[in-house]
Structure 1
């Protein structure tokens, strides 16, 4: 290496020079290539707090939806393929970030400003989802399926959007991507594709179930994004 001769020559010119360790600028501290290595310790701890907040919020949302599913109206027919498709999408979303080719999505933790913005978007999305779920009551279904004694719900957020639970879920995923990255990047992509398919499928189902009411309802509401679509 060129460092050794230069150092030895300097010591020969100044024999009293104390030995000092030579640092190469290319040697970085552990973790410097990941998200944690780019943040000071105090900002890193705040970033980790936002990450734990996001995961806790999702756990609470899942518990809420599980409890609310008790006592809903029965589907007129089972749709196991849809249920398994949703489950496999969630599993895939948490496995894909472990592949080296997708390591770029593992950028967390982020700074305080981004963490706060992402957490606020997540909470807003979950609040919309919960509001919509409450409005649906016993008419909710995990799959695209007709219910026994099915009702066309037009109250609450359904007065503006036909599928506000999907809107809230996607909004919560976007906020989680900002804070956590990793699995939520793929969850946003996979659930986005599933939800877009479900929007069309559910609209067709409701049009068959409520031929007199649904056309007018569809004309004065948006499917997923207010004032856009």
Structure 2
């Protein structure tokens, strides 16, 4: 595991998670999405401490077994994806708490955001459960890895990323965050597109014709669009 990733996961993620939980808690009296941020932050903080510090498991590597045949050196796509992922979750509550409203803070925005968050969480959990041991935060392929094509992967090749995109859009909408919504095309999507292209190239190099046949009838992220 890359040393920089270890330091980030072990030290910075728990701190950021606690800050996110705090922002969620502070917005709770006025916005129900505060519960989502509070629970997400608390789960990440506790989970990282348990897995890395107590159980000492390498959560950044796949558990599918076999020899690693391909991997992304330096986790470049993760670092490009990270700023947008953080912006979509941190900017909305900060804007909600400390800046004057630009978009109307109405129940319509709150309900829309809540529905998108629920859909995103459901899709993300479904994708994660379908992948099981093939899941890895580090882009890599092992000799015993299989090309998962069941569950949500029958429709799109990256349903977990689609789930996170929906969650991000939901948080920004639910908090009526103009700057959060702007951060999605400016910060989140470029990093996400780069990571998806990198992952697809790696999978195609390993699975060859099997992946090309799979890619021919599935969208990368959004059916009918891309």
Q: Same fold (TM over 0.5)?
A: yes
Q: Give the length in aligned residue pairs.
A: 181
Distance 1:60 1:136, change over 3 A: farther
Q: Determine the structure 2 residue equivalent to 1:52.
A: 34
Distance 1:163 1:80, change over 3 A: closer
* TM-score, normalised relative to structure 2: 0.64
Q: What is the SS of the residue equivalent to 1:207?
A: helix
Q: Determine the structure 1 residue equivalent to 2:129.
A: 134
Are 2:192 and 1:195 equivalent residues in the alignment?
yes
Per the TM alignment, residue 148 of structure 1 is displaced from its structure 2 partner at its CA by 5.0
Q: Determine the structure 1 residue equivalent to 2:139.
A: 144
Cα distance in 1, alignment partners of residues 37 and 112 from structure 2: 16
Q: Which string of whole-angstrom CA distances, capped at 9 and with x for unpartnered residues, describes residues 34-73 of structure 1?
A: xxxxxxxxxxx98823241341354367479866948842
Mapped contact 2:91–2:180 kept (Cα < 8 A): no
Cα distance in 2, alignment partners of residues 90 and 227 from structure 1: 24
Q: 5+ unaligned residues in a row in structure 1: which ranges?
A: 1-44
Are 2:181 and 1:185 equivalent residues in the alignment?
yes
* TM-score, normalised relative to structure 1: 0.63
Are 2:160 and 1:165 equivalent residues in the alignment?
yes
Q: 5+ unaligned residues in a row in structure 2: which ranges?
A: 1-26, 52-56
Q: CA RMSD in A?
A: 3.7
1:1-229 map, 5 Å? 48-56=30-38, 58-59=40-41, 62=44, 69=59, 72-73=62-63, 77=71, 79-90=74-85, 94=90, 107=102, 110-147=105-142, 149-180=144-175, 181=177, 184-185=180-181, 188-189=184-185, 190-229=187-226
Distance 1:122 1:63, change over 3 A: farther
Mapped contact 2:83–2:188 kept (Cα < 8 A): no
Query: Which range is displaced more, 216-225 or 147-156?
Result: 147-156
* Structure with the greater alpha carbon radius of gyration: 1
